[in-house]
Amino acid sequence: MRAALTFTLDLEDHREHRAAPARYPAITRELLPWLAELKVRGTFFVVGEVAAAEPALIREVAAAGHELALHSWDHTPLTAITPARFRDDTVRGRSVLEDLSGKPVQGYRAPIFSLTPASRWAVGILAELGFRYSSSVLAAPHPLYGYPGLPSAPFQWPEGLLEIPAPLARLGAWRLPYLGGFYLRYLPLPLIQWLRTCAPRDELPWTYCHPYDFDVDEAFTPIRDAALWVSVLLWCRRRGTRGKLARLMADGCAPPFAEQLARGDFAQAKTLP
């Protein structure tokens, strides 16, 4: 049988201007009863600054049975910070989350899959800090980030950290992400379902959405330093996200990553040479 889907959410504040009202707390609160109805518990990768700004929200997420993992302190890509700052930020973000939930944080996801050959040093720091797993790699060439040459199935870094790479669609020689919020919004459901059936059996399927992927009422705001068409693409087609996800998760979801790890699901993961 094919592996069940894991639900993950990158809980971040994507506002362009801090003067605008924050919409992500209300959107996330709307998701909690919806996920409960679908009997889905997932992993919420939370930005440290968001946890510090919205402690009540983070407690609600944890109380609903979801796993809290870290999604950096302030969403700066790994390729834009020094190892020393990464270490400090990671310790700080983790302690905010652990204080809020009373549970150890085991997982880390780099902003925009920015764990690349240039930021490979981050693996050693995560392992040293006691993280059990990372979910930070897109194992294919990509215009933004990517780590071609790595397996797309979960694997162990030699430092002892488990990596759970982003699932990839196979179209001929192409390897493309397809289960992120952006792709869920634009790809037709039958295509996503078909791509799932083509995935290798050892690859772990997981979705990664953001609160804005579900926010159908947000007004359009051009994104700084991005072309207008990019801003438009990121803003459109949010209405179908919930419906498509519900269909994809209808056959039952896997528990949060930390629970999969605890029950030995990754025991077969190969260690990189």
Q: Which is nearer to Zn ion, 145 or 178 (CB)?
A: 145
CB of 194 to Zn ion, least distance (A): 27
CB of 111 to Zn ion, least distance (A): 5
Tokens of 69: 């993992």
Q: Which is nearer to Zn ion, 119 or 266 (CB)?
A: 119
Q: How far apart (Å, rounded) are the C-alpha atoms in residues 89 and 95?
A: 10
Q: How far apart (Å, rounded) are the C-alpha atoms in residues 155 and 147?
A: 14
CB of 216 to Zn ion, least distance (A): 20
HSE-up of residue 106 (Cα within 13 Å, Cβ side): 17
CB of 230 to Zn ion, least distance (A): 16
Nearest to 169 by CA among 147, 192, 149: 192
Residues that bind Zn ion (CB under 5 A): 10, 12, 111
CB of 10 to Zn ion, least distance (A): 4
Q: Which is nearer to Zn ion, 78 or 169 (CB)?
A: 78
Asked if residues 98 and 48 have their Cβ atoms less than 8 Å apart, the reply is no
CB of 256 to Zn ion, least distance (A): 18
Q: Which is nearer to Zn ion, 24 or 131 (CB)?
A: 24
Q: How far is CA 98 from CA 6, 57, 95, in A?
A: 22, 14, 5
Q: Which is nearer to Zn ion, 136 or 260 (CB)?
A: 136
Classify 67 in phi/psi space as left (phi over 0), alpha (psi -120 to 50) or beta: beta
Q: How far apart (Å, rounded) are the C-alpha atoms in residues 67 and 144?
A: 28
Residue 194: CB atoms within 10 A of its CB come to 12
In sign, the C-alpha dihedral spanning 56, 133, 49, 254 is negative
Q: Which is nearer to Zn ion, 12 or 266 (CB)?
A: 12
